[in-house]
Amino acid sequence: MPTWVLPFKPVNEFASWHSSRLAWLSLVGIVLHFFTSTPSNGQNITRKMANQLLINLQKSKPDTFRLSALIELGKFHVYKAGEVKVDLDSALFYLHQAEELSSTLHLSKEKHQAESILVIAYMERGDIQLGESLFSKLIKDCQRTGDKDTQADALYRFATAQRYITRNYPKAFSNYRQAASLYKALRNPEKELFLSEQIAGLHADMGELDVAEGEFLDILKRYKAIKYPKLHYTYSWLASISRLRGNFEKGLFYSLQCLESMNKTQDTLSAAGFYGTIAEVYMELGKREQSIYWFKKTLQQWRREKLPNYSLYYSASFIVQDLIEHHKTQEALRLIVNLVKEIPSVTTIQKGCIAQTIAYCYDNLHHYKQAEKYYLEAISWYSQSGNDFEMAQKAPKEIGEFYLKRGNFKKAGFYLRKALAFSPQKNAPSTIKDIHFMLFKVDSTEGNYLSAISHFRQHKALNDSLFNETKSRQFAELEVRYATAQKEQQIQRQQLELEKGETTRKGILAGAMLLLGLLGISYNQYRLKQKSNKLLESKQLEINQKNVSLQSILNEKDTLLKEKEELLEEKEWMLKEIHHRVKNNLQIITSLLHSQGVYLKDKAALSAIQESQNRVHVMALIHQKLYQSDRLATIPMAEYIEDILDYLLVTFARQDSVLKKIAVMPINLDVILAVPLGLILNEVVTNSLKYAFPDGQKGTISIELVDLASQTYRLTISDNGVGFPPDLNPNRSRTLGMSLIRGLSKQLGGSFKSIRIQVSRLACSLPRKKLV
């Protein structure tokens, strides 16, 4: 969820939109959702309202009106976005006056309210010990006077300060729960549920998205049970959590529900935050046009306040990127530069966002030194803020992409891996997907093929989980349902207006009846009906046009889905072609080894060449099976093992004298597991065919692959040959074959055991955790 406004302003602006929605939800919670019933307890005033209070303050007398104004002004400066010393000084000035006036008027409850905000002001200023001391005295005085309402309010405020200023999460949880218990005792279910939302939000801050989602769904159910109308705050939380989990269908659904609830209740003071939420979801879906539309509405809302906050610059960043996409880079650069002149930044993450946005412009203008400077500046600012939010991950990702385009693979890899080190629970899967794909390019270029394949597999898995045909249709259906619902609500409102107009007209006609008589009444009724029919016909025509438009959108979606299917099919053929070419290259290596062997007369050298040919064949066989089957990632082990054994029997001309006994379960393994297993099998069987059956002696080679408990496999290879020489210990042997077996077993995370049995030469057992 976006940090659209920050309620606290410690030295390092501790979060952003993407980390835990701290500012946005805190504004929603502190300002509108929690305290709407008691304006004196929450910041629900704008700059314009604060200016009016200052004017009224000059004319006021030392009474309750003045006291209320002082508390509201103190609160306004405490919760105003940005860490500005003058704001905190102003807040302390007004709150101390409120404290003195409440003592003079003997109003303990109002005094407690002023002191609860003073606690936050001192903690924001850095006087943590003073703030905690004042809080302790305040709670004791509330308990002494029985002021449970303000006690709960103070607990909530203090918990929020611990959450964002001192980062003491255990104490934050404890104080939130104490406040919720007090509101439960006071029979105030709305505020009790709000505190439950704060607890769920804190779980989301900590990356516990599954726990947070379950809690918010339960809160939503309980809100509906008490018929609480303003559900848009909870829907907004759920939308953000769904987006971070990569469930864009739910994200879009909850975003649309949020806007619908906001419009229904006309509670639009936090509209900018809600617009930002749906803008983010549309951006993740790749629907740039819809996303930019909502980002522009967001920027317009924040700009009216003339207050520096992260969400103002973050919204502008997306609009700048859209202008760059439309080849309007100079206009984009002017936009961000003029915005900073109009509303200067005051915090580290604001400055980081601005630097990042300017870097986009210089990058597109090919001023690469300037672009690099601003990218690095953005990373520096974000590091100072704690790096615990999504945009801080995007900064190294974007400079990594910048270096990748310039061909500087070393720096690109450094920053991309730095971006990947962030907590994945707090960041969008689409960002992580793109990082893996770029690391795939970096590692491929540098020859780190195993790492490259690993990154490509993770990229593909994330990409497939985020986008598929079913989801695309569901998104389209959601948009159509939302548009239809909006149109139906509009028609209902119009019908209500028509009904009201009809009632008025009937009253006028009733009076005219006395003057004009029956003929005049009949004539007027006829005209009214004619007008109503024409109006209804025009509305019906408008509805039909909208339906045609919506149908065209659906047709366009079908076309896009077909194109996507064609691209996926093309990608599959490309992967098959890659495997085919790899197989051919490995066969060329085999042929080269064979040709080399023709010129060798040393038996040991010939044996080494032949064994190398066998090893290469084992790897080539993998790629042959991949391009010949519909599966492009896994190998059927039963078929693979039998092919290897048949090949070795033919190679050593022992197909008539040595029998094979294969007991392999129907197991499919990833290529990364199948290749080492095939090489182990090649080494062991080669050893048996060379030494277990001397002088053409007949025998049997047995191979068993079973699936054990706890997702573990065991590979056992044995023969009934002459056995090991008495003086040979396979477990300590330093031959190439035994070294390969032990090394490959270790690579798979398994263990190798060699067992002596009277009729058996070698047994190899390899357990391995299941990864497929």
CA-wise closest residue to 7 among 155, 231, 157, 136: 157
CA-wise closest residue to 393 among 366, 426, 363: 426
Q: What does the pLDDT average to over 391-410?
A: 85
Structure tokens at 558: 């079908």
Q: What does the pLDDT average to over 198-224?
A: 91
d(CA 343, CA 310): 11
Cβ(300)–Cβ(269) under 8 Å?
A: no
User: Which pLDDT score, from 0 to 100, does residue 768 have?
Assistant: 39
User: Which pLDDT score, from 0 to 100, does residue 53 have?
Assistant: 84
Most confidently predicted of 6-20, 156-170, 465-479, 736-750: 156-170
356: left (phi over 0), alpha (psi -120 to 50) or beta: alpha
User: Which pLDDT score, from 0 to 100, does residue 628 have?
Assistant: 67
Which of 161-175, 275-289, 324-338 is predicted least confidently?
275-289
d(CA 411, CA 396): 10
More confident residue, 280 or 710: 280
User: Which pLDDT score, from 0 to 100, does residue 673 have?
Assistant: 82
Q: Is 710 exposed, middle or buried (0-12, 13-18, 19+ CB in 10 A)?
A: exposed
d(CA 372, CA 252): 35
More confident residue, 646 or 20: 646
Q: Tokens 């019906």 belong to which residue?
A: 540
d(CA 356, CA 466): 26
Say yes or no to pLDDT of 114 above 70: yes
Which of 309-323, 389-403, 483-497 is predicted least confidently?
483-497
Q: Tokens 């939420």 belong to which residue?
A: 277
Cβ(671)–Cβ(635) under 8 Å?
A: yes
Mean pLDDT for the chain?
78
Structure tokens at 46: 């704008």
Rounded (5°) CA angle 54-151-176: 105
Residue range 518-560, pLDDT digits in tens: 676 767 777 777 877 787 777 778 787 777 878 778 877 778 8
Q: Which residues contact 430 (CB under 8 A, 6 or more apart)?
A: 246, 284, 462, 466
More confident residue, 681 or 749: 681
Q: What does the pLDDT average to over 408-418?
A: 88
Residue range 646-682, pLDDT digits in tens: 888 888 888 888 898 988 888 888 878 888 888 888 8
Structure tokens at 211: 């726990």
The percentage of the chain sitting over the pLDDT mark of 70, rounded to a whole number, equals 78
User: Which pLDDT score, from 0 to 100, does residue 150 have?
Assistant: 92
At 27, the pLDDT band (50, 70, 90 cuts) reads very low
Say yes or no to pLDDT of 52 above 90: no
At 764, the pLDDT band (50, 70, 90 cuts) reads very low
Which of 48-52, 170-174, 362-366, 404-408 is predicted least confidently?
48-52
Residue range 326-364, pLDDT digits in tens: 999 999 999 999 999 998 888 888 899 999 999 999 999
Q: Which residues contact 571 (CB under 8 A, 6 or more apart)?
A: none
CA-wise closest residue to 41 among 196, 188, 172: 188
Say yes or no to pLDDT of 35 above 50: no
Q: What does the pLDDT average to over 300-314?
A: 83
User: Which pLDDT score, from 0 to 100, does residue 224 have?
Assistant: 92
The CATH code for residues 636-769 is 3.30.565.10
Say yes or no to pLDDT of 389 above 90: no
